[in-house]
């Protein structure tokens, strides 16, 4: 068994990673940290995790692999010793997602360890499976960006659309984490839908970076607008792009192309009806529904996932499996919850 540790288990992402590793057939979760709760039993902080029987520590014990659920900047600074030791490191923050230091610092500020950016792999297995398997440092993508990238990658790769793309995203409140904020109080968020980050969301450069790597110059121009909706978990992205004038494809051919693109991807399903967030709750699936609007010659693709699973800790464990040479779906085979 591989001994794994989670840094900052006291956030939603860390707790979800702990839940998944508890049922993992090849990985044993042996150490968890959380400075605000150090010394407490994990079951006292998260009763549903009581069967883990772990004490939350200030520092990790002896482990073979590290999962970090720290926020950006704090993650990179804390992970340097583990990276230098050559341990497999999965970072669920934004610290190693951007390939360029200047791009990171435009959105997040000064990077604590920019020397490691070039060696990190962006953790979408459907696009970077072999790179992840050969890496010791993987950056878990954002939840919005995962849904948008998976929804658009096949048509971008095939060169079927113009480079002007719109991605409209709806997210549940858990995506904001456990930190208190007026926007996320029940009385503020319930029965309300609100757009935010219209001047630019931090996951926008991830979308542009990953789609741009599939695209011949010039890079795509992406307008990304997220919306907060009154649900706990879930991401639903609807993306729009105009078909190129020389593109000739039917809806059936489009969906066949998507299914071929994701034929070896155990957690991406191309569906014939528009998906809903309840269909992905608690599971690691991303459901994708591509279609065409013949009146406007426009592609419309809906992609849907659980922000804490395929948009976070679930995809992270998927990457960790690849890093450790384990089956990609190990510990992730349970079905979603319904209703």
Q: pLDDT tens digit string along 145-192? A: 999 999 999 999 999 999 999 999 999 999 999 988 999 999 999 999
Q: What is the CA radius of gyration of the chain?
A: 19
Contacts of 324 (CB under 8 A, 6+ apart): 2, 26, 27, 65, 88
**Which of 237, 252, 251, 235 is closest to 298 using CA atoms?**
251
pLDDT tens string 36-94: 999 999 999 999 999 999 999 999 999 999 999 999 999 999 999 999 999 999 999 99
Residue identified by tokens 């540790």 is: 5
Would you say the CATH fold of 144-305 matches that of 2-141+312-323? no
| Whole-number percent of the chain with pLDDT over 90 | 96
Q: Please give the average per-residue pLDDT across 211-237, as a whole number.
A: 94
Q: What local confidence, expressed as pLDDT, does residue 219 receive?
A: 82
Two tokens at 211? Answer: 């789609």
pLDDT given at position 121:
98
Phi, psi values for residue 188, rounded to 5°: -85, -40
Bond into 339 cis (ω within 30): yes
143 included as an active-site residue? yes
Which residue, 91, 141, 147, 142, is CA-closest to 280? 147
Q: Pairing relation of β-strands 65-68 and 89-91?
A: parallel
What pLDDT shows up at residue 212? 96
Nearest to 105 by CA among 115, 93, 114, 92: 114
With 80 as the cut, is the pLDDT of residue 217 above it? no
- Of 143, 286, 304, 319, which one is the catalytic site residue? 143
In the chain, domain spans: 2-141+312-323, 144-305
**How far is 11 from 7, CA to CA, in rounded Å?**
10
| pLDDT, position 138 | 98
Q: For 238-278, write each residue's pLDDT tens digit.
A: 999 999 999 999 999 999 999 999 999 999 999 999 999 99
| β-bridge pairing 221-228 and 194-195 | antiparallel
Q: Which CATH class is domain 2-141+312-323?
A: alpha beta
pLDDT bucket at 216, cuts 50 / 70 / 90? confident
- Quick one: what percent of the chain has pLDDT higher than 70? 100
pTM of structure: 0.97
Q: What's the CATH fold of domain 144-305?
A: Dihydrodipicolinate Reductase; domain 2 (3.30.360)
Q: Does the structure show a pLDDT above 90 at 111?
A: yes
């Amino acid at each position: 068994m591989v001994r794994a540790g989670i840094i900052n288990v006291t956030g939603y992402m860390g707790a979800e990673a702990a839940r998944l590793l508890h049922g993992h057939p090849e990985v044993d979760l042996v150490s968890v940290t959380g400075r605000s709760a150090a010394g407490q039993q994990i079951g006292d902080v998260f009763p549903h995790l009581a069967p883990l029987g772990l004490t939350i520590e200030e520092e990790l014990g002896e482990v073979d692999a590290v999962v970090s659920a720290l926020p950006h900047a704090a993650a990179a600074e804390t992970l340097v010793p583990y990276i230098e030791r050559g341990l497999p490191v999965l970072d669920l923050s934004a610290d190693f997602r951007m390939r360029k230091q200047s791009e990171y610092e435009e959105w997040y500020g000064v990077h604590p360890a920019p020397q490691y950016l070039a060696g990190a792999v962006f953790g979408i297995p459907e696009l970077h499976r072999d790179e992840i398997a050969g890496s010791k440092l993987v950056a878990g993508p954002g939840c919005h960006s995962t849904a948008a990238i998976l929804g658009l990658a096949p048509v971008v790769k095939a060169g079927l659309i113009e480079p002007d793309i719109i991605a409209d995203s709806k997210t549940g409140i858990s995506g904001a984490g456990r930190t208190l904020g007026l926007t996320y109080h029940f009385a503020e968020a319930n029965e309300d839908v609100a757009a935010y980050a219209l001047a630019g969301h931090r996951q926008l450069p991830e979308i542009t970076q990953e789609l741009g790597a599939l695209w011949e110059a010039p890079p795509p121009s992406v307008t990304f607008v997220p919306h907060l909706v009154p649900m706990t978990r879930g991401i639903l992205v609807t993306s729009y792009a105009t078909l190129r004038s020389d593109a000739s494809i039917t809806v059936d051919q489009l969906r066949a192309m998507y299914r071929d693109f994701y034929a070896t991807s155990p957690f991406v399903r191309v569906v014939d009806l528009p998906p809903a967030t309840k269909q992905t709750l608690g599971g690691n699936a991303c459901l994708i529904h591509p279609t065409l609007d013949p009146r406007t010659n426009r592609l419309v693709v809906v992609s849907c996932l659980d922000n804490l699973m395929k948009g976070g800790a679930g995809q992270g464990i998927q990457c960790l499996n690849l890093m450790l040479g384990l089956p990609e779906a190990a510990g992730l085979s349970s079905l979603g919850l319904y209703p």
